[in-house]
Amino acid sequence: MGVRLNGNICKPTISNNIISEGIIKGSIQIPGDGNPIILMNDHPTIGGYPKIAIVVMADLSKIAQLQAGSNINFKKITLEEAEILYKNKITKINHFIDNIVKEKF
């Protein structure tokens, strides 16, 4: 469902619970204990914890492959930058697939 982060407690200033709303893959939720959770592929569809950010789609596979105890650094980027990163990742994947097909046939 998600990757729990430890070490940097984030405590909401008003309430731990908000009205439930839709959630997308990559959302970073802050549950009551203050340890953020990055929601992955099997995330719920709605939730009532505050969300502070979203990990871009191009980086979610990197999060999924982290070992326990790894450090994560975040960087604020624009929507346009996130789109470019995603398009570049798709291009690399397609190039990789094309090379495999060429080798097999």
Domain ranges of the chain: 2-74, 76-105
Structure tokens at 11: 């405590």
What CATH number labels 2-74? 2.40.100.10
Kindly indicate the confidence band of residue 38, based on its pLDDT and cuts at 50, 70 and 90: very high
Q: What is the pLDDT of residues 65-94, one digit of tens each?
A: 999 999 999 999 999 999 999 999 999 999
Give this prediction's pTM: 0.82
